[in-house]
Structure 1
Amino acid sequence: MTITVGLAGITGRFGRLLAANLLKNPDVALRGYARDPSKVVSSISALPRTQLFAGGALDGAAIQPFVSGCDVVICAYLGDDKLMVEGQKKLIDACEAARVPRYIASDWSLDYTRLQLGDLFPKDPMKHVKAYLETKEAVKGVHILVGVFMEVILGPMSGTLDPKTNTFRYWGEGTELVEGTTYADAAKYTAKVAVDPSAVGIQKFLGDRKSIKDIAASFEKVYGVKPNLERLGSLDDLKKRMHDLRAESPAAIYSYMFLFYIYYLLNGSTLIGPGVDNGKYPEIKPETWEDFMRNRKLETLLGSMAALSQ
């Protein structure tokens, strides 16, 4: 039986990965929604099971025919709060009108449901979208939690690893758990959830959960290079630092935003494990932190995030 999957944001980094995984299933008919469908790679757009729709995130008239007839709609948007909240509400309203059974929200995150609004402010849109879905009758919300992306933690954005000096920099004691999943594995799990009508509500998948000190030990094991460890301060120091920076220069969001992520990642309030749903799809063997490094050369480790956009 053919399953029609709508994918909004098909041209984005994660959208492309997800589309490729969905199309590995011969029973999937894929509908892609984008501002410029010509940007969809030919390996996806040329397949007869792919149908592309053009439109903006707030264009209700274009969204309605895109979602009509879908068995599930996935949102792979990534952008500002207006896109993440109002853009998703447009999709959800269209799904409700078309009686689409399930909507997979643009989450792929640590467990933001355990936070209060304003705690980790970049995740507030997810809380608003989840609450909005709960007001609907026909469409059921699906929220996929995966921890943080491994590519981010071991990439330049986080500042965790300095490749020039092979130094791991950390806040806290270095023993706090860091839950991570690769982009590729998150896409694999999402493709499975999309064709599983029983998968509704919170769905938790995880590649691995290890401390920074354990990750550093794996780094030495894999690359044969003994890393340095540099403690930046306690979690209380981190909390003060991130709030001070925000108060000093609120518009300079990138000077403090990732510190908020690190704080709520490490303080235990957003952990999704150890009870996860990996066992529902045992054919997927997700990469551990050690696998992630073993499958990448040291000189390209920090470029793994950028490589996703190639």
Structure 2
Amino acid sequence: MANSFVAVAGATGALGKLVTHALLKRGVAVKALVRPNTAPNRTNDLRDAGATIVPIDLSNVQALTHELEGSKCVVSTLQGLKDVMHTTQGNLLDASVAAKVPRFIPSDFSLDFTKTAPGSNRNLDIHREFHDRLNKSGIAWTSILNGGFLDLMAGESPLINHKSRTLPYVGQPDQLLDYTSMVDTAAFTAAVAADPNPTPKFLRIASVTASVQDIADTLTTIYGVQYTPRWMGTIWTAQLMISTMRLFGGENEIFPVWQGMQYMVNMMSGDGKLEPLDNDRYPDIAWDRLEDFLRKHKVQA
């Protein structure tokens, strides 16, 4: 492969596939790093689109280093707890440094954890802690912060109760929230990975910035029936509930119920708000609009 490819780890995941396709659409050669013995039906679409499929053990730093030689950027879309985000992603980082890769994009894709309080969100703490290793590595890196995934509002959404036509929230219904579709996140990530110029350590994007009330009003317009925000308590009471729920376990789960509540608190408090946004950095990206997205994913309510 020519010395101008981008390597994508986690390429068979939802975001990883979208990033791979977005890179190929930009004319960038891609090595899709996948687990050994990955079923062909999970990689056929990537291979057909032009990606080079590389089954590899991500614990083998020496083998990884060999595969990454000549890469201009490594994109991690790995997801998990510390065993994945620190150990496995750490192996990917070490191999990138050893292979002298110019740029590394870690799998952050989250709220702005540079502004949230340590201890307020278990998963964001994992990202924050990995950045200590990034800073010591010496490699140029860029984290892409996209708020919540807009896709969480699609279909039978955990954020929208179509049966009662309500949107649960804590705090204030006019707090502005940031959401980015996975397609937009992938398009922007591909643009950063392909960028021949240096990029900042943090880039912040949002397809949509809207309050719970804004979302309810948009749903009302789309469905022709009233959708309303449903107050679930204050930020403080939500934090107390999270502490109580954690006593009953879930620490080894990627997304226990209390973890979702931590994200809600970080967003509804405004602590994880993305400011300023870097949406204009790559003018060729057309961002999803809230109403268009919700119409596309309309359900029978």
The one-letter code of the counterpart of 2:93 is I
Asked if the contact 1:177–1:211 (Cα under 8 Å) also holds between the matched residues in 2, the reply is yes
Asked if the contact 1:102–1:141 (Cα under 8 Å) also holds between the matched residues in 2, the reply is yes
Confirm whether residue 86 of structure 1 aligns to residue 95 of structure 2: no
Asked if the contact 1:115–1:270 (Cα under 8 Å) also holds between the matched residues in 2, the reply is yes
Q: Deviations for 1:166-222, whole angstroms, at most 9, x for unmatched residues?
A: 222221121111110011110111111111132241011111111101110011112
Offset at residue 57 of structure 1 (A): 2.6
Give the equivalent residue in structure 2 for 1:203. 203
**Aligned-partner SS, 1:168:** strand
Q: Deviations for 1:152-179, whole angstroms, at most 9, x for unmatched residues?
A: 255657x431122222222112111111
Confirm whether residue 3 of structure 1 aligns to residue 11 of structure 2: no
Confirm whether residue 267 of structure 1 aligns to residue 269 of structure 2: yes
Decide whether aligned partners of structure 1 residues 116 and 224 sit closer, same or farther in structure 2, where only a CA change above 3 A counts.
Answer: same
Give the equivalent residue in structure 2 for 1:220. 220
Confirm whether residue 181 of structure 1 aligns to residue 180 of structure 2: yes
The one-letter code of the counterpart of 1:93 is D
Structure 1: give runs of 5+ residues left out of the alignment.
301-310
Give the aligned length: 295
Give the equivalent residue in structure 1 for 2:164. 165
Offset at residue 50 of structure 1 (A): 2.3
Q: Deviations for 1:97-120, whole angstroms, at most 9, x for unmatched residues?
A: 111000000011110112343221
Asked if the contact 2:147–2:206 (Cα under 8 Å) also holds between the matched residues in 1, the reply is yes
Structure 2: give runs of 5+ residues left out of the alignment.
none
Decide whether aligned partners of structure 1 residues 59 and 79 sit closer, same or farther in structure 2, where only a CA change above 3 A counts.
Answer: same
Q: Residues of 2 paired with 1:291 and 1:66: CA distance?
A: 41
Farther off after superposition, 17-26 or 34-43: 34-43
Offset at residue 82 of structure 1 (A): 0.6
Q: Residues of 2 paired with 1:162 and 1:171: CA distance?
A: 15
Give the equivalent residue in structure 2 for 1:42. 44
Alignment of 1:100-119 (within 5 A): 100-119=101-120
- RMSD over aligned CA atoms reads 2.1
Moved >4 Å (runs of 4+): 153-157, 250-253
Asked if the contact 1:75–1:106 (Cα under 8 Å) also holds between the matched residues in 2, the reply is yes
Percent identity, please. Answer: 26
Q: Residues of 1 paired with 2:174 and 2:117: CA distance?
A: 25
Offset at residue 250 of structure 1 (A): 5.1
Offset at residue 299 of structure 1 (A): 3.1
Give the equivalent residue in structure 2 for 1:30. 30
**Aligned-partner SS, 2:136:** coil
